[in-house]
Structure 1
Protein backbone atom coordinates (compact mmCIF):
# COMPACT_ATOMS: atom_id res chain seq x y z
CA UNK A 1 0.00 0.00 0.00
CA UNK A 2 1.24 3.51 -0.75
CA UNK A 3 0.67 6.88 0.81
CA UNK A 4 -2.41 8.55 -0.64
CA UNK A 5 -1.16 12.10 -0.77
CA UNK A 6 -2.40 14.56 -3.35
CA UNK A 7 -0.78 18.02 -3.29
CA UNK A 8 -3.41 19.19 -5.81
CA UNK A 9 -0.76 21.07 -7.76
CA UNK A 10 -0.52 23.77 -5.12
CA UNK A 11 1.80 26.69 -5.82
CA UNK A 12 3.38 28.93 -3.23
CA UNK A 13 0.11 30.69 -2.51
CA UNK A 14 -1.71 27.38 -2.25
CA UNK A 15 0.78 25.98 0.23
CA UNK A 16 0.54 29.14 2.32
CA UNK A 17 -3.23 28.74 2.43
CA UNK A 18 -2.85 25.07 3.34
CA UNK A 19 -0.59 25.96 6.27
CA UNK A 20 -3.12 28.55 7.47
CA UNK A 21 -5.86 25.93 7.26
CA UNK A 22 -3.83 23.46 9.27
CA UNK A 23 -3.04 26.04 11.95
CA UNK A 24 -6.70 27.04 11.95
CA UNK A 25 -7.64 23.60 13.25
CA UNK A 26 -6.06 24.40 16.62
CA UNK A 27 -5.19 21.51 18.90
CA UNK A 28 -6.18 17.99 17.87
CA UNK A 29 -8.20 16.84 20.86
CA UNK A 30 -8.60 13.18 21.88
CA UNK A 31 -12.13 12.06 21.07
CA UNK A 32 -13.30 9.33 23.43
CA UNK A 33 -10.72 7.18 25.19
CA UNK A 34 -7.33 5.64 24.36
CA UNK A 35 -8.89 2.74 22.44
CA UNK A 36 -11.13 4.93 20.27
CA UNK A 37 -8.34 6.11 17.96
CA UNK A 38 -10.14 9.36 17.16
CA UNK A 39 -9.36 13.07 17.39
CA UNK A 40 -11.38 16.26 16.95
CA UNK A 41 -9.98 19.64 15.95
CA UNK A 42 -10.18 22.34 18.59
CA UNK A 43 -11.74 24.67 16.01
CA UNK A 44 -14.60 22.24 15.35
CA UNK A 45 -15.13 21.70 19.08
CA UNK A 46 -15.10 25.43 19.81
CA UNK A 47 -17.58 26.16 17.03
CA UNK A 48 -19.99 23.60 18.45
CA UNK A 49 -19.56 24.85 22.00
CA UNK A 50 -20.15 28.44 20.92
CA UNK A 51 -23.36 27.34 19.27
CA UNK A 52 -24.42 25.60 22.48
CA UNK A 53 -23.54 28.70 24.52
CA UNK A 54 -26.09 30.78 22.61
CA UNK A 55 -28.75 28.91 24.60
CA UNK A 56 -27.60 30.69 27.77
CA UNK A 57 -29.39 34.01 28.07
CA UNK A 58 -27.52 36.82 29.74
CA UNK A 59 -24.09 35.57 28.67
CA UNK A 60 -21.83 36.10 25.66
CA UNK A 61 -18.98 33.65 25.31
CA UNK A 62 -15.55 35.09 24.50
CA UNK A 63 -12.22 33.28 24.36
CA UNK A 64 -12.43 29.50 24.51
CA UNK A 65 -9.54 27.09 24.90
CA UNK A 66 -9.45 23.31 25.25
CA UNK A 67 -6.41 21.46 26.58
CA UNK A 68 -5.46 18.40 28.60
CA UNK A 69 -6.51 18.68 32.23
CA UNK A 70 -3.53 16.56 33.33
CA UNK A 71 -0.86 16.29 30.61
CA UNK A 72 1.35 14.10 32.80
CA UNK A 73 -1.47 11.64 33.38
CA UNK A 74 -2.52 11.28 29.73
CA UNK A 75 -2.52 7.79 28.28
CA UNK A 76 -1.13 6.26 25.10
CA UNK A 77 -3.40 5.95 22.06
CA UNK A 78 -4.09 2.49 20.71
CA UNK A 79 -3.18 3.64 17.18
CA UNK A 80 -0.64 6.07 15.72
CA UNK A 81 -2.08 9.59 16.23
CA UNK A 82 -2.21 12.45 13.70
CA UNK A 83 0.78 14.81 13.75
CA UNK A 84 0.93 16.90 16.96
CA UNK A 85 -2.29 15.37 18.31
CA UNK A 86 -2.82 15.45 22.07
CA UNK A 87 -2.64 12.07 23.81
CA UNK A 88 -5.84 10.57 25.25
CA UNK A 89 -6.86 12.10 28.54
CA UNK A 90 -9.59 14.20 30.17
CA UNK A 91 -9.78 17.78 28.93
CA UNK A 92 -10.05 21.19 30.52
CA UNK A 93 -12.21 23.93 29.02
CA UNK A 94 -11.10 27.48 29.79
CA UNK A 95 -13.45 30.26 28.75
CA UNK A 96 -14.18 33.94 29.16
CA UNK A 97 -17.61 35.52 28.96
CA UNK A 98 -19.55 38.71 29.37
CA UNK A 99 -22.68 38.70 31.55
CA UNK A 100 -25.72 40.89 32.00
CA UNK A 101 -27.13 42.39 35.21
CA UNK A 102 -30.31 40.32 35.37
CA UNK A 103 -28.97 37.64 37.73
CA UNK A 104 -25.91 37.03 39.92
CA UNK A 105 -22.72 36.29 38.03
CA UNK A 106 -22.14 32.91 39.75
CA UNK A 107 -25.55 31.74 38.57
CA UNK A 108 -24.86 32.75 34.97
CA UNK A 109 -21.45 31.12 35.10
CA UNK A 110 -22.91 27.88 36.42
CA UNK A 111 -25.53 27.71 33.66
CA UNK A 112 -22.89 28.37 31.04
CA UNK A 113 -20.58 25.79 32.60
CA UNK A 114 -23.32 23.14 32.47
CA UNK A 115 -24.10 23.88 28.83
CA UNK A 116 -20.45 23.72 27.79
CA UNK A 117 -19.88 20.48 29.67
CA UNK A 118 -22.96 18.85 28.14
CA UNK A 119 -22.06 20.12 24.68
CA UNK A 120 -18.55 18.71 24.89
CA UNK A 121 -19.47 15.35 26.38
CA UNK A 122 -22.92 14.54 25.02
CA UNK A 123 -22.90 16.29 21.64
CA UNK A 124 -19.27 15.65 20.72
CA UNK A 125 -17.94 12.75 22.76
CA UNK A 126 -15.06 14.56 24.44
CA UNK A 127 -14.01 13.59 27.96
CA UNK A 128 -14.04 16.72 30.13
CA UNK A 129 -12.76 16.95 33.68
CA UNK A 130 -12.92 20.72 34.25
CA UNK A 131 -14.74 23.78 32.93
CA UNK A 132 -13.18 27.01 34.19
CA UNK A 133 -14.95 30.28 33.31
CA UNK A 134 -14.00 33.89 33.97
CA UNK A 135 -16.15 36.99 33.64
CA UNK A 136 -14.30 39.63 31.59
CA UNK A 137 -17.05 42.17 30.82
CA UNK A 138 -20.50 43.31 31.90
CA UNK A 139 -23.35 43.68 29.46
CA UNK A 140 -25.62 46.70 29.50
CA UNK A 141 -29.44 46.61 29.34
CA UNK A 142 -29.24 46.20 25.56
CA UNK A 143 -27.20 43.03 25.94
CA UNK A 144 -24.07 44.70 24.56
CA UNK A 145 -20.88 45.67 26.30
CA UNK A 146 -19.73 49.24 26.09
CA UNK A 147 -16.27 47.88 25.35
CA UNK A 148 -17.57 45.74 22.47
CA UNK A 149 -17.88 41.92 22.34
CA UNK A 150 -15.61 39.83 24.55
CA UNK A 151 -12.20 39.14 23.03
CA UNK A 152 -12.15 35.99 20.99
CA UNK A 153 -15.89 36.05 20.27
CA UNK A 154 -16.74 34.50 16.96
CA UNK A 155 -19.94 33.57 15.24
CA UNK A 156 -20.91 29.88 15.41
CA UNK A 157 -20.15 27.75 12.39
CA UNK A 158 -22.58 28.15 9.53
CA UNK A 159 -24.83 25.52 7.95
CA UNK A 160 -21.84 23.84 6.30
CA UNK A 161 -20.51 22.98 9.75
CA UNK A 162 -17.18 24.78 9.50
CA UNK A 163 -15.52 27.94 8.29
CA UNK A 164 -14.08 27.85 4.77
CA UNK A 165 -10.64 28.80 6.10
CA UNK A 166 -10.62 25.88 8.52
CA UNK A 167 -11.28 22.79 6.39
CA UNK A 168 -11.04 21.72 2.78
CA UNK A 169 -13.85 19.48 1.55
CA UNK A 170 -12.79 16.82 -0.92
CA UNK A 171 -14.42 14.24 -3.14
CA UNK A 172 -13.57 10.65 -2.15
CA UNK A 173 -10.49 9.26 -3.87
CA UNK A 174 -9.44 5.67 -3.34
CA UNK A 175 -10.86 2.85 -1.29
CA UNK A 176 -10.32 4.20 2.26
CA UNK A 177 -12.00 7.52 1.47
CA UNK A 178 -14.88 5.81 -0.36
CA UNK A 179 -15.44 3.40 2.50
CA UNK A 180 -15.36 6.19 5.07
CA UNK A 181 -17.71 8.37 3.03
CA UNK A 182 -20.31 5.59 2.95
CA UNK A 183 -20.54 5.43 6.76
CA UNK A 184 -23.72 7.10 8.08
CA UNK A 185 -22.89 10.47 9.63
CA UNK A 186 -19.89 11.22 7.41
CA UNK A 187 -20.58 14.42 5.46
CA UNK A 188 -17.44 14.34 3.29
CA UNK A 189 -13.69 13.77 3.47
CA UNK A 190 -11.52 16.81 4.22
CA UNK A 191 -7.90 17.58 3.35
CA UNK A 192 -6.01 19.64 5.89
CA UNK A 193 -3.08 17.52 7.03
CA UNK A 194 -2.02 16.56 3.51
CA UNK A 195 -4.73 14.16 2.41
CA UNK A 196 -8.15 12.79 3.31
CA UNK A 197 -6.55 9.35 3.66
CA UNK A 198 -2.91 8.82 4.53
CA UNK A 199 -1.73 5.21 4.34
CA UNK A 200 1.45 3.80 5.81
CA UNK A 201 2.49 0.23 6.58
CA UNK A 202 -0.31 -1.34 8.58
CA UNK A 203 -2.04 1.96 9.34
CA UNK A 204 -4.57 4.34 7.79
CA UNK A 205 -5.48 7.85 8.92
CA UNK A 206 -8.67 9.36 7.54
CA UNK A 207 -9.83 12.97 7.87
CA UNK A 208 -13.50 13.91 7.61
CA UNK A 209 -16.41 16.17 8.53
CA UNK A 210 -19.49 14.81 10.28
CA UNK A 211 -23.10 15.56 9.39
CA UNK A 212 -25.66 17.33 11.53
CA UNK A 213 -27.48 15.07 13.96
CA UNK A 214 -24.57 12.64 14.32
CA UNK A 215 -22.26 12.46 17.34
CA UNK A 216 -18.66 12.70 16.11
CA UNK A 217 -17.38 9.99 18.47
CA UNK A 218 -19.92 7.44 17.22
CA UNK A 219 -19.20 8.32 13.60
CA UNK A 220 -15.45 7.94 14.16
CA UNK A 221 -15.95 4.56 15.80
CA UNK A 222 -18.08 3.37 12.88
CA UNK A 223 -15.52 4.57 10.34
CA UNK A 224 -12.70 2.79 12.15
CA UNK A 225 -14.67 -0.45 12.30
CA UNK A 226 -15.63 -0.25 8.61
CA UNK A 227 -12.10 0.39 7.39
CA UNK A 228 -10.42 -2.14 9.67
CA UNK A 229 -12.80 -4.84 8.47
CA UNK A 230 -12.81 -3.97 4.76
CA UNK A 231 -9.22 -2.98 3.95
CA UNK A 232 -6.63 -5.65 3.14
CA UNK A 233 -4.48 -6.64 6.06
CA UNK A 234 -6.90 -5.24 8.67
CA UNK A 235 -4.81 -2.10 9.31
CA UNK A 236 -5.08 0.05 12.40
CA UNK A 237 -7.20 3.15 11.73
CA UNK A 238 -7.13 6.66 13.15
CA UNK A 239 -9.87 9.21 12.47
CA UNK A 240 -9.52 12.99 12.56
CA UNK A 241 -12.76 14.98 12.58
CA UNK A 242 -12.18 18.53 11.32
CA UNK A 243 -15.76 19.86 11.17
CA UNK A 244 -19.08 18.87 12.74
CA UNK A 245 -22.75 19.61 12.14
CA UNK A 246 -22.49 19.83 8.35
CA UNK A 247 -25.91 20.45 6.84
CA UNK A 248 -27.38 21.99 9.98
CA UNK A 249 -30.21 24.39 9.15
CA UNK A 250 -30.16 27.96 10.36
Structure 2
Protein backbone atom coordinates (compact mmCIF):
# COMPACT_ATOMS: atom_id res chain seq x y z
CA UNK A 1 0.00 0.00 0.00
CA UNK A 2 1.31 3.47 -0.81
CA UNK A 3 2.07 6.13 1.77
CA UNK A 4 -0.94 8.14 0.61
CA UNK A 5 -3.13 5.11 1.16
CA UNK A 6 -1.83 4.62 4.68
CA UNK A 7 -2.38 8.30 5.50
CA UNK A 8 -5.92 8.16 4.16
CA UNK A 9 -6.70 5.04 6.16
CA UNK A 10 -5.33 6.56 9.36
CA UNK A 11 -7.34 9.73 8.79
CA UNK A 12 -10.47 7.65 8.26
CA UNK A 13 -9.82 5.86 11.55
CA UNK A 14 -9.47 9.15 13.43
CA UNK A 15 -12.57 10.58 11.78
CA UNK A 16 -14.65 7.51 12.54
CA UNK A 17 -13.64 7.37 16.16
CA UNK A 18 -13.44 11.10 16.89
CA UNK A 19 -10.40 10.54 19.08
CA UNK A 20 -8.02 12.91 17.34
CA UNK A 21 -4.38 11.91 17.37
CA UNK A 22 -3.19 9.09 19.58
CA UNK A 23 -0.40 10.65 21.63
CA UNK A 24 2.51 8.78 23.25
CA UNK A 25 2.45 8.68 27.04
CA UNK A 26 5.90 8.75 28.61
CA UNK A 27 8.79 7.44 26.52
CA UNK A 28 9.57 4.67 24.08
CA UNK A 29 9.73 1.98 26.78
CA UNK A 30 6.35 2.87 28.30
CA UNK A 31 4.27 1.32 25.51
CA UNK A 32 1.31 3.61 26.18
CA UNK A 33 -0.80 6.12 24.25
CA UNK A 34 -3.71 8.45 24.99
CA UNK A 35 -6.39 9.87 22.72
CA UNK A 36 -5.85 13.58 22.05
CA UNK A 37 -9.52 14.20 22.81
CA UNK A 38 -9.04 12.80 26.32
CA UNK A 39 -5.84 14.75 26.91
CA UNK A 40 -7.35 18.04 25.71
CA UNK A 41 -10.30 17.66 28.12
CA UNK A 42 -7.86 17.36 31.03
CA UNK A 43 -5.85 20.39 29.91
CA UNK A 44 -8.98 22.51 29.46
CA UNK A 45 -10.08 21.73 32.98
CA UNK A 46 -6.65 22.63 34.32
CA UNK A 47 -6.66 25.94 32.41
CA UNK A 48 -10.23 26.90 33.31
CA UNK A 49 -9.24 28.40 36.65
CA UNK A 50 -6.43 30.62 35.37
CA UNK A 51 -7.47 34.25 35.99
CA UNK A 52 -7.20 36.78 33.18
CA UNK A 53 -7.43 34.31 30.29
CA UNK A 54 -9.99 32.24 28.42
CA UNK A 55 -8.61 29.24 26.58
CA UNK A 56 -9.66 28.70 22.97
CA UNK A 57 -8.37 26.20 20.42
CA UNK A 58 -5.88 23.67 21.74
CA UNK A 59 -3.85 21.16 19.74
CA UNK A 60 -1.14 18.66 20.67
CA UNK A 61 1.42 17.55 18.08
CA UNK A 62 5.01 16.44 17.70
CA UNK A 63 7.51 19.09 18.74
CA UNK A 64 9.87 20.53 16.20
CA UNK A 65 12.87 19.78 18.43
CA UNK A 66 13.98 16.27 19.25
CA UNK A 67 13.54 13.08 17.28
CA UNK A 68 10.96 10.38 17.75
CA UNK A 69 12.17 6.88 18.58
CA UNK A 70 10.66 3.45 17.94
CA UNK A 71 8.22 2.30 20.60
CA UNK A 72 8.91 -0.83 22.63
CA UNK A 73 5.60 -2.28 21.40
CA UNK A 74 3.69 -1.70 18.16
CA UNK A 75 1.68 1.53 18.21
CA UNK A 76 -2.10 1.67 17.68
CA UNK A 77 -3.37 2.78 14.26
CA UNK A 78 -2.63 6.47 13.49
CA UNK A 79 -0.62 6.92 16.72
CA UNK A 80 2.30 9.33 16.97
CA UNK A 81 5.64 7.70 17.82
CA UNK A 82 7.26 8.42 21.20
CA UNK A 83 9.12 11.71 21.28
CA UNK A 84 8.77 15.30 22.47
CA UNK A 85 5.37 16.95 22.08
CA UNK A 86 4.21 20.53 21.59
CA UNK A 87 0.97 22.14 22.79
CA UNK A 88 -0.41 24.94 20.61
CA UNK A 89 -3.12 27.00 22.26
CA UNK A 90 -5.13 30.11 21.55
CA UNK A 91 -6.41 32.30 24.36
CA UNK A 92 -8.24 35.58 24.91
CA UNK A 93 -7.32 38.02 27.64
CA UNK A 94 -9.79 39.71 30.00
CA UNK A 95 -9.68 43.48 30.32
CA UNK A 96 -9.05 44.95 33.74
CA UNK A 97 -7.47 41.87 35.23
CA UNK A 98 -3.92 40.71 35.67
CA UNK A 99 -1.41 42.04 33.15
CA UNK A 100 -1.79 39.94 30.01
CA UNK A 101 1.83 38.69 29.77
CA UNK A 102 1.70 37.45 33.36
CA UNK A 103 -1.70 35.80 32.82
CA UNK A 104 -0.49 34.04 29.69
CA UNK A 105 2.61 32.80 31.52
CA UNK A 106 0.41 31.46 34.31
CA UNK A 107 -1.74 29.67 31.71
CA UNK A 108 1.35 28.18 30.09
CA UNK A 109 2.62 26.95 33.45
CA UNK A 110 -0.75 25.39 34.27
CA UNK A 111 -0.83 23.51 30.96
CA UNK A 112 2.77 22.33 31.39
CA UNK A 113 1.95 21.09 34.89
CA UNK A 114 -1.16 19.20 33.82
CA UNK A 115 0.71 17.52 30.95
CA UNK A 116 3.31 16.15 33.36
CA UNK A 117 1.40 15.64 36.61
CA UNK A 118 -2.04 14.55 35.40
CA UNK A 119 -1.25 12.82 32.12
CA UNK A 120 2.44 11.95 31.71
CA UNK A 121 2.89 13.56 28.30
CA UNK A 122 6.46 14.46 27.31
CA UNK A 123 5.60 18.05 26.39
CA UNK A 124 8.62 20.28 25.82
CA UNK A 125 6.87 23.30 24.31
CA UNK A 126 3.65 25.16 25.12
CA UNK A 127 2.90 27.98 22.69
CA UNK A 128 0.04 30.30 23.68
CA UNK A 129 -1.15 32.81 21.08
CA UNK A 130 -3.40 35.64 22.25
CA UNK A 131 -6.25 36.18 19.78
CA UNK A 132 -8.25 38.95 21.42
CA UNK A 133 -9.36 40.82 24.53
CA UNK A 134 -12.69 40.35 26.31
CA UNK A 135 -14.42 42.93 28.50
CA UNK A 136 -15.65 40.28 30.93
CA UNK A 137 -15.13 36.58 31.47
CA UNK A 138 -17.85 34.50 29.75
CA UNK A 139 -20.03 32.25 31.84
CA UNK A 140 -17.99 29.14 32.59
CA UNK A 141 -18.84 26.12 30.51
CA UNK A 142 -18.81 22.63 31.90
CA UNK A 143 -15.79 20.68 30.68
CA UNK A 144 -16.86 17.12 30.03
CA UNK A 145 -14.45 14.35 29.20
CA UNK A 146 -15.18 11.99 26.33
CA UNK A 147 -17.46 9.10 27.19
CA UNK A 148 -16.68 6.10 25.05
CA UNK A 149 -18.83 3.67 26.98
CA UNK A 150 -17.75 0.43 28.57
CA UNK A 151 -16.64 -2.83 27.02
CA UNK A 152 -17.39 -6.28 28.37
CA UNK A 153 -14.76 -7.87 30.60
CA UNK A 154 -14.00 -11.34 29.32
CA UNK A 155 -10.93 -13.45 29.87
CA UNK A 156 -8.07 -13.31 32.38
CA UNK A 157 -6.26 -10.45 30.65
CA UNK A 158 -9.36 -8.25 30.58
CA UNK A 159 -10.15 -9.12 34.19
CA UNK A 160 -6.62 -8.24 35.26
CA UNK A 161 -6.74 -4.87 33.48
CA UNK A 162 -10.17 -3.98 34.83
CA UNK A 163 -9.02 -4.67 38.40
CA UNK A 164 -6.12 -2.20 38.27
CA UNK A 165 -6.63 0.76 40.62
CA UNK A 166 -7.26 3.85 38.50
CA UNK A 167 -8.99 1.99 35.66
CA UNK A 168 -12.51 3.39 35.45
CA UNK A 169 -13.64 0.86 32.84
CA UNK A 170 -12.41 -1.02 29.82
CA UNK A 171 -13.36 0.48 26.45
CA UNK A 172 -13.50 -0.91 22.95
CA UNK A 173 -13.12 2.03 20.60
CA UNK A 174 -10.71 0.36 18.18
CA UNK A 175 -12.37 -3.02 18.55
CA UNK A 176 -12.35 -5.34 21.54
CA UNK A 177 -11.07 -3.97 24.84
CA UNK A 178 -8.25 -6.52 24.71
CA UNK A 179 -6.95 -7.19 21.22
CA UNK A 180 -4.39 -9.87 20.44
CA UNK A 181 -2.19 -9.80 17.34
CA UNK A 182 0.75 -11.95 16.35
CA UNK A 183 3.14 -9.38 17.81
CA UNK A 184 1.43 -7.88 20.86
CA UNK A 185 -1.65 -7.34 23.00
CA UNK A 186 -3.40 -3.97 23.16
CA UNK A 187 -5.63 -2.98 26.08
CA UNK A 188 -8.07 -0.05 25.90
CA UNK A 189 -9.43 1.65 29.00
CA UNK A 190 -10.59 4.85 30.65
CA UNK A 191 -8.66 6.37 33.56
CA UNK A 192 -10.49 7.28 36.75
CA UNK A 193 -10.59 10.88 37.96
CA UNK A 194 -7.60 12.00 39.97
CA UNK A 195 -5.21 9.34 38.62
CA UNK A 196 -2.17 10.03 36.42
CA UNK A 197 -2.75 8.40 33.05
CA UNK A 198 0.83 7.20 32.52
CA UNK A 199 0.98 5.55 35.94
CA UNK A 200 -2.29 3.70 35.36
CA UNK A 201 -1.15 2.62 31.91
CA UNK A 202 2.04 1.16 33.37
CA UNK A 203 0.07 -0.71 36.01
CA UNK A 204 -2.28 -2.10 33.36
CA UNK A 205 0.62 -3.38 31.27
CA UNK A 206 2.17 -5.05 34.31
CA UNK A 207 -1.13 -6.62 35.39
CA UNK A 208 -1.87 -8.05 31.96
CA UNK A 209 1.66 -9.41 31.69
CA UNK A 210 1.31 -11.05 35.11
CA UNK A 211 -1.99 -12.60 34.01
CA UNK A 212 -0.10 -14.76 31.55
CA UNK A 213 0.32 -12.60 28.47
CA UNK A 214 2.76 -14.30 26.12
CA UNK A 215 3.70 -11.19 24.13
CA UNK A 216 4.32 -7.46 24.75
CA UNK A 217 1.43 -5.36 26.04
CA UNK A 218 0.45 -1.91 24.78
CA UNK A 219 -1.91 0.39 26.70
CA UNK A 220 -4.34 2.85 25.11
CA UNK A 221 -6.20 5.43 27.21
CA UNK A 222 -9.32 6.49 25.32
CA UNK A 223 -10.88 8.64 28.06
CA UNK A 224 -10.03 10.31 31.36
CA UNK A 225 -12.82 10.89 33.84
CA UNK A 226 -12.98 14.43 35.21
CA UNK A 227 -13.96 15.28 38.79
TM-score range, shorter chain: 0.7 to 0.9
Change beyond 3 A, Cα 1:237–1:219: same
- Please tell me whether residue 118 in structure 1 is matched to residue 113 in structure 2: yes
**Which of 48, 53, 62 is the matching residue for 2:47?**
53
**Which of 88, 91, 95 is the matching residue for 1:97?**
91
Cα deviation for residue 175 of structure 1 reads: 2.4
In structure 2, how many angstroms separate the alpha carbons of the residues matched to 1:182 and 1:190?
Answer: 14
Cα deviation for residue 103 of structure 1 reads: 2.5
How large is the RMSD of aligned CA atoms in angstroms? 2.0
Whether the 8 Å contact between 2:151 and 2:169 is mirrored in structure 1 is: yes
In structure 2, how many angstroms separate the alpha carbons of the residues matched to 1:88 and 1:28?
Answer: 11
Please identify runs of 4+ aligned residues in structure 1 that moved more than 6 A: none
Query: Gaps spanning 5+ residues in structure 1: where?
Result: 1-17
The count of aligned residue pairs is: 214
Task: Give the corresponding residue for 2:123.
Answer: 128
Change beyond 3 A, Cα 1:175–1:21: farther
**Which of 203, 214, 217 is the matching residue for 1:222?**
203
In structure 2, how many angstroms separate the alpha carbons of the residues matched to 1:119 and 1:100?
Answer: 23
What is the SS of the residue equivalent to 1:35?
A: helix
In structure 2, how many angstroms separate the alpha carbons of the residues matched to 1:204 and 1:227?
Answer: 9
Cα deviation for residue 181 of structure 1 reads: 0.2
- Please tell me whether residue 38 in structure 1 is matched to residue 19 in structure 2: no
TM-score (norm 2): 0.88
Task: Give the corresponding residue for 1:241.
Answer: 221
What is the SS of the residue equivalent to 1:226?
A: helix
Cα deviation for residue 168 of structure 1 reads: 3.0
TM-score (norm 1): 0.80
Task: Give the corresponding residue for 1:12.
Answer: none
Cα deviation for residue 30 of structure 1 reads: 0.4
Q: CA offsets per residue over residues 129-161 of structure 1, 9 Å max, x none?
A: 100001112110x324xxxx9xxx97412xxxx
Query: Gaps spanning 5+ residues in structure 2: where?
Result: 1-12
- Please tell me whether residue 192 in structure 1 is matched to residue 173 in structure 2: yes
What is the SS of the residue equivalent to 1:241?
A: strand
Cα deviation for residue 177 of structure 1 reads: 1.5
What is the SS of the residue equivalent to 2:225?
A: strand
Change beyond 3 A, Cα 1:21–1:155: farther
- Please tell me whether residue 108 in structure 1 is matched to residue 103 in structure 2: yes
1:62-73 matched pairs, under 5 angstroms: 62-70=56-64, 73=67
Cα deviation for residue 174 of structure 1 reads: 2.4
Task: Give the corresponding residue for 1:156.
Answer: 143
Whether the 8 Å contact between 2:37 and 2:146 is mirrored in structure 1 is: no
Q: CA offsets per residue over residues 59-83 of structure 1, 9 Å max, x none?
A: 1100000001038711110001101
Q: CA offsets per residue over residues 222-245 of structure 1, 9 Å max, x none?
A: 111111122242x10000001113
Task: Give the corresponding residue for 2:8.
Answer: none
Cα deviation for residue 171 of structure 1 reads: 2.6
Whether the 8 Å contact between 1:93 and 1:128 is mirrored in structure 2 is: yes
When structure 1 is superposed on structure 2, of 199-208 and 68-77 the one drifting more is 68-77
